[in-house]
Structure 1
Amino acid sequence: MQLPEPPRLFLVDGYALIYRAFYALMARPLTTSKGENTSAVWGISNFLQRLVTTQKPEYLGWVHDSGLSFRHERYPAYKATREKLADDLQADFDRGMLRICQLLDAYRIPILALEGYEADDVIGTLARRGTESGVKVVVVSGDKDFQQLVRPGVWILNPGRGGSAAVEEQWVGVENASERLGVPPDRVTDYLALVGDSSDNVPGVRGIGDKTARELVNSYGGLEDILARAGEITKKRPREALQEHAANARLSKELVTIREDLDIALDLDALKLREPDRDQLRDLFVELEFHSLAKEAAPARRAPEPGLERRYATVETLAQMSEVVAKARKAGTVALDTETVVAAGDPPKIDPLRSRLIGISLAIAPGEAYYFPLRHRPHAAEQTDFLMDVSGDRSATDAPEDRGTVRGGDETTGATTRPKKRIAKRVESIASRMLSGGGATPVNNLPPLDSAEMAPLRELLEDPSITKSAQNAKFDLLALRKAGVTLRGLDFDTMLASYVLDPGRRSHGLDVLALEFLQHTMTSYEDLCGKGRDALRFDECPVDAARDYSCEDADITLRLRSLFEPQLEKFALKDLLRDVEMPLVAVLGDMEWTGIAIDDDWFKSLKVRFERERKVVEQRIYEAAGTEFNIASNPQLREILFVKLELPVLKKTPTGPSTDASVLQELAEQGHTLPVLLMEYRELAKLENTYLDTLPELVNPETGRLHTSFNQTVAATGRLSSSDPNLQNIPIRRELGREIRRGFVPEKGWTLVAADYSQIELRLLAHLSNDPAFVDAFHAGGDIHRQTASLIFDVPVADVTSEMRARAKTINFATIYGQGPQALSRQLHIEHLEAKEFIAKYFERFQGIRAYLDSMVEFAREHGYVQTIFGRRRYIPELRDRNFNIRAFGERTAANSPIQGSAADLIKLAMIHIHSVLGERGLRTRMLLQVHDELVFEVPEEEIEIAQALVTYEMEHAAELSVPLVVDIGVGKNWMETKE
């Protein structure tokens, strides 16, 4: 289809897009840390950015309805069937509309509306005026009514939607205008007059559907012709319907016809697309916490921003290095940043253990920073004939020490060659864009960091009396360790400080923090190195550009520290950062450095077994379904479950009945066989894809071990998470998950020791609530769930049955996570009323627990946050939300977070103490993993007894509670054996 050529006028059906954006995230709305619903403005922000970037319209207008229109006067029931939003949702929508108006103002896009008319009529009139003025018109909407406007010079653009039910954008022009409705544009109103429109309550002709309407229009022409010749129609039903409802048909045509004759002029100059007010746009995105959009919206920079005075210098000689080191020692504190690159063939993730240190920056005072280049390559113009693209968007020169011989266009490695002229031009472009002083300086690397000549800098970094700040300090610590330097004196991490101050913040990235707290837009990595096939590696970039990029990181880190320290003091969070999060950086760094071994042969044999089991389950699925089909295809699965087998539809999505895990679980509980098999199949496939296929590929070839990354700033509760790979989600309650754990093994001659807090959250609940019965139950020892069952069911402990214990265990944990009778009834397979009575009896026995949970919710309502035993805060903006479901989630979060957060703090303290004692005693035992409430160690045979005693003691004495802390500890030749 021929698309419109400039000049083009884009007219956006604003309300339709806003409603779609609002409802798209209705189930899980986006909210700011203050609780503001931002679903609609997020959707529109992305839409506008995409429209302006990809379509580059010359003229653009945003069209809104103005309220009731002439159609309501003509037909009072017009749109009367539309369901009104609940008051809380209406308030969210109205707030979103205000934000969208602010967004349009920042984009300098005019909002068009005319009293008494709908947006459709304004668009129709302006489309007519546009074509008369010689511009091409594009109506941006998914509404079928606009098909009537299509003619030479007028197109429709349905912008589509993203997400799981993604729909691509679609252009409609004269060539394909009949495809959607089956009638030409000039007959759309006649077709709509017959079928009506339920969304607008347009009556149409009862008894005439889509197919019949198309046949009538294509056979007889316009509505009046159809009505005049109704007696000729052979089929009785449509003939009688037309004769009986002719008045409704004429009314409907009047209602669906878009006016094109309104008394409005087309002012193209006012609609001309202008450069947005980027400062206003950035400030709005920062306020809405759209950090990635804020960064993209920021004014483009070619030179340092005047708002932040900066004096950045490259250290090129040993004399200069000594001078800077002396300045740093005099200052007593520095902020640092390391720059690294990965070798070709390594995974594209940023991994300090597989990286080479290219340079270091030190900031000594705000605006004063120095860059130490260590391994920059010669500029592209001086390099050999070809460069090689490696995995991802990163590129590198051909260097024998890195990758051996490179063949142009090698199909086995995926490498492609890039002529040096093109790269030289890219380097020149970067230099001119990044630098204000002209060309780039020649490369003049300092000696390797572990050389004798670099001792002054190395000693500075290793001197604990010189305090250091960093952003994501664990990365710098490991990068320096890889280069032979042990970083000491690390006492502040801006990423961790941001997390401690507000764990619910969407991002703790340096660029986000700089934008929010310093109103400064940082140079992005793509600004420096580019993207795509012409992108450079960091060590290929001009040194002066690299200097400004790296020094900026260190400089901003130092400035943020001065802002964060008073806030930490004000909110009594300084101790948490100093005593828990910062010491943990070194602990986690050691754990990541050590890694854990896996048995490759075990994983290979397990994969064969999984594939065999999956095929067996697959065959059973086909037998239960009565036919073979693509199990991974949701449309085919829906057809089998809800059409062929006629199972009940429990939940719907925009594309049809849902087949998600919750639906399959409920169908399985109803006694249906196929959903049980589907869940088993999905679990096998997930474990195979996530672990059996992936883990062996992630083994570091240098160490022969798996090195996960531990994340301190992901979970709002304070819990650690792991990634690349995620080792915290391996299921242990299922046999298949346990088999995967058997593949984690110790070094030869060593063994694994695993220590797990026993019922830590319940013990913390007892301590926090100080409920006498619950506290006494823990002091009595034995099985807490059996003790609980004894109290709930009024029977001696010895008479508690396994079913009683199981129910008590379920409600113990349901209490922690704030589950109500509906969830409990589903878990225990009992009636809702019985579950409700069970909960009431539980709280009757443990009244202190009920009082404590309620007090946490009230505290959060009054103060906006809850906190752990150790002072960690979690803000609960959901409690202020107008939406009942979101408020209920906030109440559960307020009750649960002090328990979960205190458990997180407790195990972190235990890790710090154990790490310290192991070092002090000179033991070789290594801490490898932290998974929920469990710590895994690798222990030489001769240290097994001492390690078990040490770990148990430190974990059980990490804090003093009103109930005893108990640790279960096990030894084995693989991870699973430690649990057996």
Structure 2
Amino acid sequence: MAFGKGHHLHLIDGSAFIFRAYHALPPLTRKSDGLPVGAVSGFVNMLWKTVEDNRGPDAPTHAAVVFDKGSHTFRNDLYDQYKANREAMPEDLRPQIPLTRDATRAFNIACLEQEGFEADDIIATLACRARDAGARVTIVSSDKDLMQLVGDGVDMFDAMKNLRIDSDGVVAKFGVTPDKVVDVQALAGDSVDNVPGAPGIGVKTAALLINEYGSLEDLLERADEIKQPKRRQTLIDNADQIMLSKKLVTLDCDMDLDYALDSLEVKEPIADELLGFLTEMEFRTVTRRIAEALNVEVPVIPEEESSATSPSDPPEAIPFDATGYTKVNDIKALEEWIARAHARGYVAVDTETTALNEMTAELVGISMCIEPGQACYIPLTHKASAADDLFGSNELADDQLDLEDVLALLRPMLEDPSVLKIGQNMKYDAKIFARYGVSVAPIDDTMLMSYAMHAGLHNHGMDLLSERYLGHHPIEIKSLLGSGKAQITFDRVAVDDAVKYAAEDADITLRLWQAFKPELHKKHVTTVYETLERPLVGVLADMEMTGIKVDREVLSKMSNAFAQKMAQLEDEIHALAGHSFNVGSPAQVGEILFETMGLSGGKKGKNGKYSTPADVLEDLATEHELPGRVLDWRQIQKLKSTYTDALQDHINTDTGRVHTSYSIAGASTGRLASTDPNLQNIPVRSEEGRRIREAFIATPGHTLVSLDYSQIELRILAHIAGIDALKEAFLEGQDIHAATASEMFNVPLDEMTADVRRQAKAINFGVIYGISGFGLARNLRIPRDEAQGFIDRYFERFPGIRAYMDNTVTFAKEHGYVQTLFGRKINTPEINNRGPHAGFAKRAAINAPIQGTAADVIRRAMIRMPDAIAKLPAKMLLQVHDELLFEVEESAADDLIAVAKDVMEGASMPAVDLTVPLTVDAGKGANWAKAH
């Protein structure tokens, strides 16, 4: 039967399989001769899975694996800068490329490539011919460039995510139907392939334009009708460049091929040939698996696979022994360690410094480990004076290598894409190296691996991980540095002591990596680690090193104003109390409230004094004015001490900017934490809190741009819990708090009062965090029974929310964790406990999927942002929960807003297609307050 109707053609994007395998797996070498085969191993496993998963009635009748051949294609003749910014192929991948072709032929699958054309063109030609013949086509790839082919019997399948992409999926990705994808790509350009496009126009804007004008040609012909002056001029000025971009992104569906579709018929692998290839590669595990599937005898492979993919012995089987650690103090020894790292393909790296602040710390030494139990330390700037000599000289100790010489030798290895650098909290080390001119990549981070698997169970510091997962108690830093006033910096530690401590750190890190790497897959969090954790390291490091400019004079004036406001509040508090007392003393506040004024609820601690925490004062504020004023005073006092006073001390003397540090693994839900200084807890609801942001300014000629997700957690709640009324309100762009109030209190929207809306807003946000009647009463400063009535009415009007809460708690109790929409697991170890903390565990479990999904969305946006804004004179500076802050040249502010907004609003796709739109509010100004 001739090829045509009833046939199903699978076209596998072989190049995508190769690079996915290469970057996702640790390096692997063939034990007999050291040949790199890690990418081949991954490719074989992916190909076998594809074959195994495609059996049954929907199985392909015809199939081919399609590869790129060479780097020069007809597109380079059209535009010599096409793909010009792509990095050279890693040296250890180059010899593996022909082996992947051999693997394909060993599976008895057609292996296709053609000089002068990309794999995508071959796929396009075959797909179009098969479609014209009436056959079905499935393109096994996630490459967005192939989405222009989807429709009329052609779909795509992302094998990594087990996700089928049809026309609706393309619309979700690009905002247009498949036939208009090339028009959108031509406008938006592609920084990866160096397709120029129209400067400042992102995918979302491009889609809006194409949908409005029908086609790229019509858009350019009618460009003078566009209302926005900058956009109009961009299209007019770059028309030729845009049309060239369309030629670059349009796939060739009419190649001359020297084979027919009939020749691609699926054939069973020939056991001897396939197993012969696998045996030659020394792939023991997959050889056994495939032999068993083919019902043939498993071939004998003389030696085990290299330990690069997984340790042959458990990491803890090799005892820790400091005698195996060496001091590297001559160049030849260092060169040998570097050569070993290149040969192995990975190395654990750690730095020792003089401080925890990466922007001011000085590099003291570097440790490396390649085999468990074998580690080294390279001392660089230890001082000659003894550890206990606080007034010693700055003369360097003997037997150390020169810092610049060492960095010159290490730089090629640390920057080599074929050598994986493994660290514990690698962001710190990467920033230290970056300050010395070294860009460390690629990296793996054991702290983030633990976080992906164990969030909610424990913290992810190295000492705890070592004890818990390796059974080893590390040398404590306190034993070297001391504590308190007598504490020294690491450069004052004796070199021999430093060797034991620093080399052990690298040793532990390598063992943790060997223990954790295979566990990621078993615990189904590889995608979370690879897409949400690891890529964020470099993004945050760049943001932190850029910092944000702060006006010291504004802070000083603000500090004085706060002092005056505090004095005014003190006078009011004293007047309400009837006499003076120390408002800053919780005990004295307690005496006034519970003894002088006779208010109820006072409790004394073990010291015999009253405790007046915020929740007690919030309760009392519903009955009396004074507790509320004390809360106001404390708020101003905290703003003054924590921000207007302390921020001045955080201004870096070299940069004139404040450089906060983000903790990726701080909150179990995936939210980032900010320290030194903490810029995420600046209150924005009070006028005083908002004024703090006035001190954060743009440099001359620049402006700050703020982009903030609008009510993202409520939108996610509406999606997860399936609340139709909330979804409808969001889809129609209604004021969600007014809509909620209207639904709850039966008040028409046009009769809504500010007070009723404020109550609904408090309930909307409170419910996300499992707020109780007590908590809502505090927030609104109303009686508890009235607050509880609001909550009861809320659940009556939106029953899906109660169902979501109950189902989430049930799931958590059964499985011990909850999950975000992107697969992040938040462990809930206390969910089945009884007692006073049971309610907290339930509320945390209910909130975690919502807050965690929101955190994942903004992480995805941040990870995509550097590439998206690469052509703009802009830098991403801060992330504050649902907001991203940028600094950009004034002339490019609108372009930045368009591009960044597009990235943020589409950040959930294609992994999660929300039923509620994500919207982003944008603002710009000379300072953060004006931009927000």
| TM range, smaller chain | 0.5 to 0.7
1:908 aligns to 2:859 (yes or no): yes
2:570 is aligned to 618
1:929 aligns to 2:878 (yes or no): yes
State the AA in 2 paired with 1:882: R
1:448 is aligned to 403
CA deviation after TM superposition for structure 1 residue 834, in Å:
4.9
1:942 is aligned to 891
2:784 and 2:319 map into 1 onto residues whose CA distance is: 65
State the AA in 2 paired with 1:905: D
Task: State the secondary structure of the residue aligned to 1:653.
Answer: coil
1:363 aligns to 2:369 (yes or no): yes
Give runs of aligned pairs for residues 423-502 of structure 1, distance below 5 A.
443-449=398-404, 451=405, 454-490=407-443, 492-502=444-454
1:711 and 1:601 map into 2 onto residues whose CA distance is: 29
1:822 and 1:955 map into 2 onto residues whose CA distance is: 36
After superposing the two structures, state which structure 1 stretch, 757-766 or 622-631, moved more: 622-631
Q: Which of 648, 653, 673 does residue 696 from structure 1 map onto? A: 648
1:317 aligns to 2:330 (yes or no): yes
Task: State the secondary structure of the residue aligned to 1:352.
Answer: coil
1:889 is aligned to 840
1:586 aligns to 2:535 (yes or no): no
Q: Which of 815, 824, 828 does residue 876 from structure 1 map onto? A: 828
1:818 and 1:809 map into 2 onto residues whose CA distance is: 14
Task: State the secondary structure of the residue aligned to 1:916.
Answer: helix
2:496 is aligned to 544
CA deviation after TM superposition for structure 1 residue 826, in Å:
4.7
Task: State the secondary structure of the residue aligned to 1:355.
Answer: coil
Deviation sequence 1:8-58 (CA, Å, 0-9, x none): xxxxxxxxxxxxxxxxxxxxxxxxxxxxxxxxxxxxxxxxxxxxxxxxxxx
Q: Which of 869, 873, 880 does residue 918 from structure 1 map onto? A: 869
Q: Which of 393, 399, 414 does residue 397 from structure 1 map onto? A: 393
2:591 is aligned to 639
Deviation sequence 1:642-676 (CA, Å, 0-9, x none): 22233334444332443222222222221x33323
2:601 and 2:459 map into 1 onto residues whose CA distance is: 38
CA deviation after TM superposition for structure 1 residue 536, in Å:
4.4
CA deviation after TM superposition for structure 1 residue 836, in Å:
4.5
1:278 is aligned to none
Q: Which of 617, 621, 624 does residue 668 from structure 1 map onto? A: 621
| 8 Å CA contact retained: 2:704, 2:927 | yes
| 8 Å CA contact retained: 1:379, 1:443 | no
2:322 and 2:488 map into 1 onto residues whose CA distance is: 28
1:764 is aligned to 716
Q: Which of 761, 783, 800 does residue 809 from structure 1 map onto? A: 761
Deviation sequence 1:726-775 (CA, Å, 0-9, x none): 11111111111111111111112211111110000011011112232222
1:709 aligns to 2:661 (yes or no): yes
2:781 and 2:370 map into 1 onto residues whose CA distance is: 64
2:197 is aligned to none
CA deviation after TM superposition for structure 1 residue 808, in Å:
2.5
Deviation sequence 1:943-969 (CA, Å, 0-9, x none): 211111111001000013111000001
CA deviation after TM superposition for structure 1 residue 723, in Å:
0.9
Identical counterparts, % of pairs: 44
CA deviation after TM superposition for structure 1 residue 894, in Å:
1.6
| 8 Å CA contact retained: 1:388, 1:397 | no
| 8 Å CA contact retained: 1:708, 1:725 | yes
Task: State the secondary structure of the residue aligned to 2:359.
Answer: helix
State the AA in 2 paired with 1:694: A
| 8 Å CA contact retained: 1:750, 1:940 | yes
Evaluate the alpha carbon distance shift between residue 462 and residue 793 of structure 1 in structure 2; reply closer, same or farther with a 3 A threshold.
same
| 8 Å CA contact retained: 2:318, 2:373 | no
| 8 Å CA contact retained: 1:649, 1:657 | no
1:602 aligns to 2:554 (yes or no): yes
CA deviation after TM superposition for structure 1 residue 534, in Å:
5.7
2:64 is aligned to none
CA deviation after TM superposition for structure 1 residue 561, in Å:
0.8
1:354 and 1:471 map into 2 onto residues whose CA distance is: 20
Evaluate the alpha carbon distance shift between residue 658 and residue 447 of structure 1 in structure 2; reply closer, same or farther with a 3 A threshold.
closer
Q: Which of 492, 508, 523 does residue 571 from structure 1 map onto? A: 523
Q: Which of 691, 708, 713 does residue 739 from structure 1 map onto? A: 691
2:467 and 2:780 map into 1 onto residues whose CA distance is: 50
Evaluate the alpha carbon distance shift between residue 599 and residue 514 of structure 1 in structure 2; reply closer, same or farther with a 3 A threshold.
same
Evaluate the alpha carbon distance shift between residue 445 and residue 308 of structure 1 in structure 2; reply closer, same or farther with a 3 A threshold.
closer
CA deviation after TM superposition for structure 1 residue 976, in Å:
0.5
1:644 and 1:876 map into 2 onto residues whose CA distance is: 45
Evaluate the alpha carbon distance shift between residue 380 and residue 859 of structure 1 in structure 2; reply closer, same or farther with a 3 A threshold.
closer
Q: Which of 317, 326, 335 does residue 339 from structure 2 map onto? A: 326
2:118 is aligned to none
State the AA in 2 paired with 1:332: G
| 8 Å CA contact retained: 1:501, 1:573 | yes
Q: Which of 653, 657, 676 does residue 724 from structure 1 map onto? A: 676
Evaluate the alpha carbon distance shift between residue 533 and residue 825 of structure 1 in structure 2; reply closer, same or farther with a 3 A threshold.
closer
After superposing the two structures, state which structure 1 stretch, 549-558 or 528-537, moved more: 528-537
Evaluate the alpha carbon distance shift between residue 814 and residue 617 of structure 1 in structure 2; reply closer, same or farther with a 3 A threshold.
closer
TM-score of the two chains, using structure 2 as the length reference: 0.63
State the AA in 2 paired with 1:973: A
1:847 is aligned to 799
Q: List gaps (5 residues or longer) in structure 2.
A: 1-316
After superposing the two structures, state which structure 1 stretch, 716-725 or 752-761, moved more: 716-725
Task: State the secondary structure of the residue aligned to 1:700.
Answer: coil
CA deviation after TM superposition for structure 1 residue 881, in Å:
1.0
2:558 and 2:626 map into 1 onto residues whose CA distance is: 25
Task: State the secondary structure of the residue aligned to 2:727.
Answer: helix
CA deviation after TM superposition for structure 1 residue 850, in Å:
2.3
2:128 is aligned to none
State the AA in 2 paired with 1:354: T
CA deviation after TM superposition for structure 1 residue 942, in Å:
2.4
The Cα RMSD (Å) is 2.4
| 8 Å CA contact retained: 1:499, 1:505 | no
CA deviation after TM superposition for structure 1 residue 596, in Å:
0.9
CA deviation after TM superposition for structure 1 residue 310, in Å:
6.0
| 8 Å CA contact retained: 1:310, 1:368 | no
| 8 Å CA contact retained: 1:387, 1:398 | no
Q: How many residues align?
A: 611
1:351 aligns to 2:357 (yes or no): yes
1:793 aligns to 2:745 (yes or no): yes
Deviation sequence 1:422-452 (CA, Å, 0-9, x none): xxxxxxxxxxxxxxxxxxxx73222323x5x
CA deviation after TM superposition for structure 1 residue 633, in Å:
2.8
Evaluate the alpha carbon distance shift between residue 694 and residue 821 of structure 1 in structure 2; reply closer, same or farther with a 3 A threshold.
closer
| 8 Å CA contact retained: 1:786, 1:805 | yes
1:930 and 1:793 map into 2 onto residues whose CA distance is: 36
2:638 is aligned to 686
Q: List gaps (5 residues or longer) in structure 1.
A: 1-303, 343-349, 390-395, 402-441
Deviation sequence 1:881-912 (CA, Å, 0-9, x none): 121x3222222122111001111111111111
2:55 is aligned to none
Q: Which of 373, 382, 401 does residue 376 from structure 1 map onto? A: 382
Task: State the secondary structure of the residue aligned to 1:880.
Answer: coil
1:562 and 1:533 map into 2 onto residues whose CA distance is: 39
CA deviation after TM superposition for structure 1 residue 511, in Å:
1.4
State the AA in 1 paired with 2:846: A
| 8 Å CA contact retained: 1:763, 1:965 | yes
State the AA in 2 paired with 1:475: Y
Evaluate the alpha carbon distance shift between residue 621 and residue 729 of structure 1 in structure 2; reply closer, same or farther with a 3 A threshold.
same
2:786 and 2:573 map into 1 onto residues whose CA distance is: 35
